[in-house]
């Protein structure tokens, strides 16, 4: 099972919006609504930002939003702030008994 495909890096200026894509297949992203997004600062544990494609856990800023179209999920961050600079990972349930959960390779967000 291949990892989900994410851009290696994205960047934006404070106040702008950016979108990170996460492309899979009909077996994972396209076939289930169990897409999650995690934020990971260097040397820290991942933090859940979005679950079930578009839901935010309690305490996560509403500047973070998720969506899905076909085999591609997206994370949008609006009103970029310096503290958003981090690595972001998508993940999806696959329903495949060889690998139930697959992650993307990660995207480094730089706030210019």
Query: Which positions lie near other proteins, rule CB under 8 A?
Result: 3, 32, 34, 36, 38, 40, 44-48, 50-52, 55, 57-58, 89, 91, 93, 97-106
Distances (CA, A) of 34 to 53, 60, 105: 6, 18, 17
Least Å from the CB of residue 37 to other proteins: 8
Least Å from the CB of residue 14 to other proteins: 27
User: Whose Cβ is closer to other proteins: residue 37's or residue 71's?
Assistant: 37
d(CA 84, CA 102): 24
DSSP 3: P
d(CA 38, CA 40): 6
User: Whose Cβ is closer to other proteins: residue 13's or residue 59's?
Assistant: 59
Strands (E), 4-63: 9-12, 18-23, 35-40, 47-50
| Residue 109, both tokens | 């967000």
Least Å from the CB of residue 47 to other proteins: 7
Least Å from the CB of residue 13 to other proteins: 26
User: Whose Cβ is closer to other proteins: residue 99's or residue 112's?
Assistant: 99
């Amino acid at each position: 099972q291949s990892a989900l495909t994410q851009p290696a890096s994205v960047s934006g200026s404070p106040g702008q919006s950016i979108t990170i894509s996460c492309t899979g297949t009909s077996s994972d992203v396209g076939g289930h609504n169990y897409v999650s997004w995690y934020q990971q600062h260097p040397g820290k544990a991942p933090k859940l930002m979005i679950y079930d494609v578009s839901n935010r856990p309690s305490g996560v800023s509403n500047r973070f939003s998720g969506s899905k179209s076909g085999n591609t999920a997206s994370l949008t961050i609006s009103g970029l702030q310096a503290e958003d600079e981090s690595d972001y990972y998508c993940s999806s349930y696959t329903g495949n008994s060889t690998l139930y959960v697959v992650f993307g390779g990660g995207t480094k967000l730089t706030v210019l």
